[in-house]
Amino acid sequence: MTTDGRYGRDDILVVSGCGGQECPPSSLNTMKRDLPNIPNTPAIDIRCLRVDYGDFMAVNDLTLSVPAGEVFGLVGPNGAGKTSTFRVLATLMEPTYGEVRLDGVDVLEDLERARRIIGYMPDLAPVPSDLKVWEFLDFHAAAYGLGTRAQRRERAAECLEEVSLTAQRDCWCRELSRGQTQRVVLAKTLLHRPRVLILDEPASGLDPLARRDLRHALRKLAAAGATVFVSSHILSELAEMCSSLCVMNRGSLLAAGTVDQVRHQLGSTERALTATLLGRHQEAAEWLAAQPAVHGLRLAGPHVHFGFAGSDEAQADLMDGLIRLGIRIRAFEEKRSSFEDILVEVAESNRRR
């Protein structure tokens, strides 16, 4: 078993090779991996995924591709279909129809191979209060068949180090804070060196310091070669944590890409502008109100507040026009819609339906 912390295909143990029993040391060295090695294969490839609960459609024809080595976020209000999507990816339920491949492995056709590359962390995963941290990890390492007792404990120590919990090794699980408990569960999820991590609301209930620690841990895992698929209903939280993300609502995909791309796809290119002027305020306000893409103009002393839905070039033209009129501008400030504004708008539209 390699111990360099990398998450390449050669680090994945074929647990079924020992029939679920503890693997002897020799088999850890000789056991051959049989996962596909396809260049440029997406780490997560979802095609036309549909999940129904009776007459209720939880996921509606979801198609999504996530490159390897990304921290990719899935965000949406409650009922968006996030957990149902994750449960299918984690092989915990069958979809109504669709295709799902993880690192080239068909999740629906080859459960055993898929489970060897998946690390699934559900929302509010339970941790037994009567075990110490190292005992909890050792128990799960034994369930995975990860070698001798010494090898299991070595791997548990590596995982604790990856989530910055080495100092809590001998603590009782009941003594851990919420953030520490979440990171212990993440350490457990890492034991078998999964290629794809599926984390459902891992930052739920965490304080800012714990969220920062989690963010650093996930970025470190991605840098080591793992792909992290993480969900949240808090957009700003994922924007800080992820390299790319997507937004779901009522089972459908609304947008996917980088932070700026998602903002653009959701139609939130509109911005709030404030021009602070040195005199001729009324004249400037009347000129701005007559310009295309300007609306909701309000004059407050030297400040002219207005909404603007034009391009960056058009915004520059506004400033140029004011200057050509001889109007002196002390400041020109911009505020785009925040991710929280976008998600609130999506959630409120659901309530109106």
pLDDT digits (tens, 9 = 90+) for 81-95: 999 999 999 999 999
User: CA-to-CA distance for 105 and 102, rounded, in angstroms?
Assistant: 5
**Distance between CA atoms of residues 200 and 269, nearest Å:** 29
pLDDT band at 178 (very low <50, low <70, confident <90, very high): confident
Q: How many CB atoms lie within 10 A of CB 309?
A: 13
Residue pair 250/79 in contact (Cβ under 8 Å)? The answer is yes
Q: For position 339, what pLDDT does the model report?
A: 61
pLDDT band at residue 64, thresholds of 50, 70 and 90? very high
What is the mean predicted confidence (pLDDT) over 275-282? 92
Half-sphere exposure at residue 200, Cβ-oriented, CA atoms within 13 angstroms: 17
Asked if residue 145 has pLDDT above 60, the reply is yes
Q: pLDDT digits over 213-222, tens only?
A: 888 888 888 9
Q: Which residue has the higher pLDDT, 10 or 233?
A: 233
In this prediction, residues 131-142 reach a mean pLDDT of 95
Q: So what's the pLDDT on residue 31?
A: 29
Per-residue pLDDT, averaged over 217-234, amounts to: 88
Q: Does residue 350 or residue 226 have the better pLDDT?
A: 226
The span from the CA of 353 to the CA of 346, in Å, is 11
**SS3 category, 336:** strand
Alpha-carbon torsion angle 244, 249, 251, 256, nearest 10? -20
For the question of whether the overall pTM of this predicted structure is more than 0.85, the answer is no
pLDDT of residue 2: 37
**Predicted pLDDT at 343:** 65
Structure-block tokens of residue 199: 């984390």
- Amino acid sitting at position 243: S
pLDDT at residue 4 in the model: 42
For the chain, give the percent of residues with pLDDT over 70.
82
Helix axes of 281-289 and 312-324: crossing angle, nearest 10 degrees: 140
Which of 177, 206, 205, 202 shows the shortest CA–CA distance to 188?
202
Q: Is the pLDDT of residue 293 over 60?
A: yes
pLDDT of residue 258: 83
Long-range CB pairs of 277-281 (<8 Å, 24+ gap) are 277/302, 277/303, 277/304, 277/322, 277/327, 277/328, 277/329, 277/330, 278/302, 278/328, 278/329, 278/330, 279/327, 279/328, 280/325, 280/326, 280/327
For the chain, the average pLDDT equals 82
What is the pLDDT, as a whole number, of residue 285? Answer: 93
pLDDT of residue 226: 92
Residue 17 has pLDDT above 90, yes or no: no
Q: For the chain, which domains are there?
A: 44-265 (3.40.50.300), 271-336 (3.30.70.100)
Does the pLDDT at position 18 exceed 70? no
Q: What is the model's pLDDT at position 14?
A: 29
Instruction: Record the tokens describing residue 333, joined without a space.
Output: 């400030």
Identify the weakest region by mean pLDDT among 84-88, 277-281, 285-289, 345-349.
Answer: 345-349
Quote the pLDDT of residue 331: 92
Report the alpha-carbon distance of residue 42 to residue 214 in Å, rounded: 24
Within its chain, how far is the Cα of 144 from the centroid? Answer: 26
Say what the pLDDT of residue 24 is: 37
Query: Averaged over 158-169, what is the pLDDT?
Result: 92
**Would you place residue 3 in the very low, low, confident or very high pLDDT band (cuts 50, 70, 90)?**
very low
Among 50-64, 77-91, 120-134, 198-212, the least confident range: 198-212
Residue type, 129: S
Rounded Cα–Cα distance for residues 297 and 310 (Å): 15
pLDDT at 11 exceeding the cut of 60: no
